[in-house]
A and B are shown apart, each in its own frame.
Chain A
């Protein structure tokens, strides 16, 4: 059976002024997959996600989403097409309530608001209790949950998460990974960018390993986990 490709990045290069951050990157995400981008700090993961979403300008190459060329399209248009990014640092609108954050997430998807809200609360019950609380007063883990929930309110086709685990306690991280697993079972396609390679490789189906703006390795996560280079550089093993 031929798998349907959801996101296709073809030979994309991005520079910040004279500094090249991505060099001829190609990745692909198929429907219902969990794909990981792993690599050290500064490898270019965030830049790639921003380039996909149109926040960062692409110098050459192409980004295709559901068959449409979205290279350098405006971010609100791309988001409206079903691309959701949960940015690094569990960002929320901290002066607004949990409910207002979720309402903002539903900007492009105001119909069925109550049903979507119910679904999101099923995945993140803690948010239901905090619904009228100011988002800035939530714990880091709760803010990350709100950030994911806010993205889900737009019913995205593809959920991209940048540094899910950064700054969160391991227990909270496991909890959020479990929830993302459930979401994947419900049909969501997920692209994760993570420095925390071990947990991510255990969770994802496929992964791309990035170093200084290039993809240096790619494949199924089971295979990558036994790859000597990956074990040495990312899994802290001395084999």
Chain B
């Protein structure tokens, strides 16, 4: 029972990180009509920025600002590439998938050749923090608390933006029907760029929380997380935001439970089995495709 509670907490903190990435990923899919496979890699790159800034200052605000700014800037800077591709090929999700995959490889290469000589980076131990609560096997670290509560706050803010604000309405309009949106006078390109910026913002925040949760990062982390983000999105149904929320959390919990109850290395086999079974039963994902 204690293992269960401990792993549930672990899973929720990890899962809330997946949720944030799934939301950013789906937002770009819905509004800009792209598969941005390199998005988690950009987030890992922002963890490197976070780490670099931390070596010079321990001002938390500065660290967060730098991570967020770098993730927004890079993600927005990539937008013209996808716009050019769309101009050539129409909005073809396969094209953006292939191109962003090579972008992901490039980012991984940069991290493994140019940053910290390719060695994994470690965040200061006080950054992850001691356990703020422990009882028997259950321990809840400050980093986990940041990830869980920060994640909840960021997800709430995201849904508020999307469903309660004017800009959110415009984002949803383009996601539902971009031609109709442009006919009624909504600036499409500007709003698409906004979706990259919002995904960048979510990504930058995730980078900081991920750093506190994991305490380290390595060049391979982008691929590792990227695969899970895509898997959770497909499990939920591509473009389905509420489904992504549920599946991101489930994935985090399933992963933690596998680590808690089985030899850790089998968690991937479990993920594969889950994926296979769900795709056989519901190829459109648990909650249905909305892209």
Please tell me the number of chain B residues within 8 Å of chain A, measured between CB atoms: 17
27 A–B contact pairs at CB < 8 A?
A55-B179, A55-B183, A74-B187, A75-B182, A76-B182, A76-B186, A76-B187, A78-B185, A79-B183, A79-B184, A80-B185, A84-B184, A91-B177, A91-B180, A93-B173, A93-B177, A95-B172, A96-B176, A100-B169, A104-B170, A104-B184, A104-B186, A107-B170, A107-B185, A110-B166, A150-B184, A154-B184
Structural contact, A75 and B172, CB atoms closer than 8 A: no
Given A75-B183, A79-B183, A93-B180; 12 other pairs, CB 8 A cutoff:
A55-B182, A75-B182, A85-B183, A91-B177, A91-B180, A94-B176, A96-B172, A100-B169, A104-B184, A107-B185, A108-B185, A154-B185
Chain B interface (Cβ < 8 Å from any Cβ of A): 166, 169-170, 172-173, 176-177, 179-188
Residues of A within 8 A of B179 (CB): 55
A56: min CB distance to chain B, Å:
11
Residues of B within 8 A of A154 (CB): 184-185
Structural contact, B169 and A79, CB atoms closer than 8 A: no
Structural contact, B184 and A105, CB atoms closer than 8 A: yes
A73: min CB distance to chain B, Å:
12
Residues of B within 8 A of A12 (CB): none
Number of A-B contacts (CB under 8 A): 56
A53 at the interface (CB under 8 A from B): yes
A103 at the interface (CB under 8 A from B): yes
Chain A, Cβ-Cβ closest to B181: A104
A152: min CB distance to chain B, Å:
11
Contact with B along A46-77 (1 / 0, CB 8 A): 00000001010000000000000000001110
Of A80, A87, A95, A108, which one neighbours B183 at CB under 8 angstroms?
A87
CB-based closest 7 A-B pairs:
A79-B185, A76-B187, A75-B182, A76-B185, A91-B180, A93-B176, A108-B185
Contact with B along A179-219 (1 / 0, CB 8 A): 00000000000000000000000000000000000000000
* CA distance in complex: A78, B186 (Å): 11
Chain A, Cβ-Cβ closest to B186: A107
A133: min CB distance to chain B, Å:
16
A116 at the interface (CB under 8 A from B): no
A107: min CB distance to chain B, Å:
6
* CA distance in complex: A93, B179 (Å): 11
Of B166, B176, B183, which one neighbours A103 at CB under 8 angstroms?
B166
B106: min CB distance to chain A, Å:
33
B240: min CB distance to chain A, Å:
12
Chain A, Cβ-Cβ closest to B290: A95
B148: min CB distance to chain A, Å:
30
Residues of A within 8 A of B185 (CB): 75-76, 78-80, 107-108, 154
A221 at the interface (CB under 8 A from B): no
